[in-house]
Amino acid sequence: MKSSALTYPRAEAPWTTLRRRLSDWLGLSAHKTQQRPLRPRYPAIDARTVIYAIGDIHGRADLLRDVHGRIDADWSARPAERRLEVYLGDYVDRGPDSAAVIALLRKRATQIRIMPLAGNHEAMLLHFLDGRIPDRDWLAFGGAATALSYGVNPARETVLSAALSRAIPLEDVQFLRSLRPSFRYGPYFFAHAGVVPNRPLDQQVADDLMWIRKPFLDHHGSFGAIVVHGHTPTDTPDFRHNRINLDTGAYATHRLTCLRIDASGAALLGRTDGTRA
């Protein structure tokens, strides 16, 4: 797997690629979930392991605390030998408390095993801190909320990236730089945005794993595993035969989605009808 840093085609300058991606992202409305009469049945994992996968958080520390409480209660009621929490990226921007989200994840990592993945918003934040994109592009991407959560007012700073670099704890930056682009466990593959169809999973590129949309979302064939992802907000979790989208637009909808994967398959945490996803 290549580095989680964004890569650029040689035919385009980095600025051109970033502006194109920003334009595509800002012009995309929420991907509407089509109604489906039946949900697919998803494969089981080994009986000793439970995986909890959490969708895009986007600065909603309040919702993350609630999900942690629900996970802990579920684990107490239905434990196994091993527990893993996989976070699908986009912890920062848009919502009001990105700093608290990062602090919660860092604390969680000292208590249990977690696998936090890199989202495109974390990649953009790091590029901004490194001086690779201008203020206006990062702010248009939702960065103002992140700056404010660290006590930095963008309207009052001459060099915003320098002010934010001084305000963000080194431990938070190290956490962001340590994020992996993907993770696989048995028949499930986890990534923020998705994968390039018809490319082996072990040959995916970090740039695609954090940014891809249409080629992945429109693909109806197998990816080689069930891809659990976020990145494209939907009204409700989107269950397809080859992928599961957990991004329910938490910062705007107040819904942060969590999926439990175990020896019975996959189910949304908190469902009350007893059905499997």
> pLDDT per residue over 235-254, tens digit each?
999 999 999 999 999 999 99
pLDDT at 9 over 60: no
Distance CA 53, CA 237 (A): 12
Q: What is the pLDDT of residue 270?
A: 78
pLDDT at 3 over 50: no
pLDDT at 150 over 70: yes
Tell which wins on pLDDT, 223 or 9. 223
Residue spans of the domains in the chain: they are 49-124+170-268
Q: Which residues contact 129 (CB under 8 A, 6 or more apart)?
A: 161, 164, 165, 168, 173
CATH superfamily of domain region 49-124+170-268: Metallo-dependent phosphatases (3.60.21.10)
Q: What is the pLDDT of residue 186?
A: 98
Global confidence as pTM: 0.86
Q: What is the pLDDT of residue 6?
A: 33
Q: What is the pLDDT of residue 277?
A: 46
pLDDT band at 39 (very low <50, low <70, confident <90, very high): confident
Q: What is the mean pLDDT of the chain?
A: 89
pLDDT at 26 over 90: no
Phi–psi pair at 154, nearest 5 degrees: -60, -30
Q: What is the pLDDT of residue 205?
A: 98
pLDDT at 169 over 50: yes
Q: What is the pLDDT of residue 8?
A: 30
pLDDT at 29 over 70: no
